[in-house]
Chains A and B, each alone.
Chain A
Amino acid sequence: MAESKPKPEILAKVDYQPPGDDWMELPVEIRPGTFNYAANPANAKYLDLPHVRKWQPTDDDWQLPENWQEIILEGLHDRLKKYRSLKVFMDICVRCGACADKCHFFLGSGDPKNMPVLRAELLRSVYRRDFTTAGKILGKLAGARPLTPEIIKEWFLYFYQCTECRRCSVFCPYGIDTAEITMMGRELLNSIGLGIDWITTPAANCFRTGNHLGIQPHGFKDSIDFAVEELEEITGIKVDAPINKKGAEILFVSPSADYFASPHYYTLLGYLALFHEIGLDYTWSAYASEGGNFGLFHSADMMKRLNAKIYAEAKRLGVKWILGGECGHMWRVLHQYMDTMNGPADFLDQPVSPITGTRFDHASSTKMVHICEFTADLIANGKLKLDKRRNDNVNVTFHDSCNPARAMGLFDEPRYCIEHACNHFNEMPENTIKEQTFCCGSGSGIGTDENFEMRMRGGFPRANAVKYVHDKHGVNMLACICAIDKATLPPLMEFWVPEVDVCGIHELIGNAMIMKGEKRTTDLRGEPLPGMEESDADESGEVKEVSEDV
């Protein structure tokens, strides 16, 4: 760019006006309810992170390392060299403002620094000053700022007030992805020891035992066995849930919240019932016991480190391919980065459904298939007996989780599953679903208790659309396919639309599915199953009358 001089007519069009509000002067406010706690030093140390110390965002002095400016500027320099996208994103924004009103945090709070264009400007202003000629000469007039501790505080607040959801990028005419700028901002913050605990601690646990809560193999087995027992109590059927079974055809990986949190757990029961019913030859892994990867929210290196176990376990167990459960960011990692980071998975086969014979060509490189794709294919091939009436107590709408939606384009399969498992399904308005979906407001590691108010603000655009379908169509269930959503949408609903509950798609499938030899009167939550109350099942447990969706 430096070589060719811009023409005068182009220069005449250059807008020298800094963005309105003189946002650069706005003070940074560390307000309770809107920031995240610092990383626990023990866990940061466990991960060998740099500049570990005890500090909190509420401290006046964040005890930055002596040469912190040098670390940041060098880090930025390295990343500009390494990632061409970052260099392009730094240079090409024309401040058209198309992204400004697309971020849920801005829409819910009105804070201008939550406009994606200004969020990116936090980094760009430093880039301009130290990496561009105009910025070096013109300084603030060219939107450049010197790097001060105040700016670091601002980065910490606003790069952890971005859920890396990428909604803004859908609307940017240049395709600038503010989520990637946030990722770089977080990497730089982490390089001077400014990480948050909700990311660092799960990452440390994951590195140690394979999952976010640090559950060890025997604990994992106990959790799965417990679920098998509960499923037997509900359905009368004892399913097999193999763990670390060498030579199984498929390795199944799901987010760990599926086996310890609610309402995730009912989705786990749904998977177990489904795999039993179709006689799938599969295995869990007690080490790849977590699909989620909080490394994504920390740094590219951390993501790679935590992801490695998935292919490693697939190889060790000798499976043919991998099936993945309902999770959001897990799929961003698997779909967009795993192959490049830890592949090629040339020891695995092209995924083929053993039940229908369908080849999943889109998974040729990663060798990993999403469970909604797998189940939709089973339904399409008439392999499941689904009685939609069993879900007649729910009127469902579907929340497209940011990552499966915007990082995978997974729109149709979840809807296909819902429509074949439920009679009552109503979509939210089109500018709030599919690629335009509104984030839950709690993704990317900021779904913390201490950040609760910010989450309620950021989740408001989503909740507002749910409220609309609740008021208009009587929707009472928000289905989703993400573990973070399942954890954070229930409190969001409780606050904004308390009549609406949250579930996973495989919970709905598990409820609707007629299992051979089943004896059940309740759904997976132990609530009465519509049409299956005591009188509908005879002594032998046979179902008297069902309309089968096959």
Chain B
Amino acid sequence: MVVSLNDTLRDRRSEILAKWFEDTLATYPSSAQRIFTSTAREFANPVGETIKSGLEAVFDGLVAGDDSERLGEAIDLIIRMRSVQNFTAAEAVGFVFSLKSAVRASLSGEGNTNGLQTEITQFERRIDELALQAFDLYMACREQVYQIRANETQARSAKLFQRAQQIIEQHATGQKITFDFNTPEDEGGDRQ
């Protein structure tokens, strides 16, 4: 009987996911791994839960042949999270590749996988593509961080900026300026 790779992957889903989860968690300090692996309620263990449910969604998407948009949605939160954790770019997205070894480890007990070689190569190529996509997402998250930081600075004194603008306009139109705007530069104190 000819079994397709996808069928095999579906059969081995929990085993492969367990290995992939373990390898991904291994990127965190060991005392954290223990807690992130715990079955604590979802909201008490957000990193563990995000990784767990994210990997499941990505794996199912890959097996189902989802397009890159859907795969991107599935992986977004994990990447977003790792983009602000203690990782370099390569470390942040590297876990995607661990799926390859998880799949291979699972298939190695399979005896003869010769017939599946082409499919395995194709599947691994999709993992590579996903890793590149993850890298793009990582970069987008980093850019977003800088953008948000810029907006935040503005919002923190939003009303003062608006008032300052009004004063400049009053000045330009020759109106009497009603307010001597305070700039505590002399104190070096320009922060909230």
Contacts and interface: CB of A to CB of B under 8 A. Distances in A.
Interface in A16-65: 19-21, 23, 29, 31, 33-34, 40, 42-43, 46
B44 A101 contact: yes
Contacts of A208: 184, 187
A219 B160 CA distance: 10
B175 interface: no
A226 B189 CA distance: 24
Contacts of B86: 29, 31, 34, 109-111
B187 A260 contact: no
A261 B156 contact: yes
Contacts of A31: 86
B181 A219 contact: yes
A464 B156 contact: no
Interface string B74-95: 0000001100111000000000
B144 A214 contact: no
A425 interface: no
Contact of B31 (A21, A204, A222, A262): A21
A197 interface: yes
Given A110-B29, A205-B189, A222 B163 contact: yes
The residue in A21, A110, A204, A428 that gathers the most chain B C-beta atoms within 10 A of its C-beta is A110
Interface stretch (B98-106, B107-115, B146-154): B146-154
A214 B50 contact: no
A253 B155 CA distance: 22
Contact of B41 (A20, A197, A205, A431): A431
A212 interface: yes
B173 interface: no
Contacts, number: 165
Interface in A233-265: 257, 259-263, 265
A7 interface: no
Given A107-B46, A110-B36, A495 B80 contact: yes
Contacts of A465: 43
Contacts of A295: none
A34 B80 CA distance: 17
A347 interface: no
The residue in A34, A429, A491 that gathers the most chain B C-beta atoms within 10 A of its C-beta is A491
Contacts of A109: 85-86
B191 interface: yes
B180 A218 contact: yes
Interface residues of B, number: 51
A491 B145 CA distance: 9
Contacts of B44: 101, 107, 431
Given A110-B36, A449-B149, A495-B144, A21 B184 contact: no
Contact of A21 (B29, B43, B141): B29
A261 B191 contact: no
Contact of A216 (B42, B158, B182): B182
A328 interface: no
Interface stretch (A361-369, A414-422, A452-460): A452-460
A261 to B, nearest CB: 5
A545 B190 CA distance: 48
Nearest to A34: B86
Contacts of B30: 20-21
Nearest to A102: B44
A198 to B, nearest CB: 6
B53 to A, nearest CB: 11
Nearest to A220: B182
A34 B87 CA distance: 12
Contact of B156 (A112, A115, A487): A487
A257 B192 contact: yes
A212 B192 contact: yes
A46 B188 CA distance: 11
B47 interface: yes
B47 A487 contact: no
Contacts of A204: 187, 189
Given A111-B29, A112-B29, A456-B145, A222 B179 contact: yes
A223 B46 CA distance: 41
11 contacts: A110-B36, A112-B31, A115-B31, A201-B190, A219-B180, A226-B159, A431-B41, A460-B46, A464-B50, A465-B43, A494-B151
Given A205-B189, A222-B178, 7 more contacts: A101-B38, A214-B184, A257-B192, A431-B44, A453-B84, A461-B46, A490-B155
Which 5 residue pairs are nearest across A and B when measured between Cβ atoms?
Answer: A110-B32, A262-B158, A214-B184, A110-B28, A464-B46
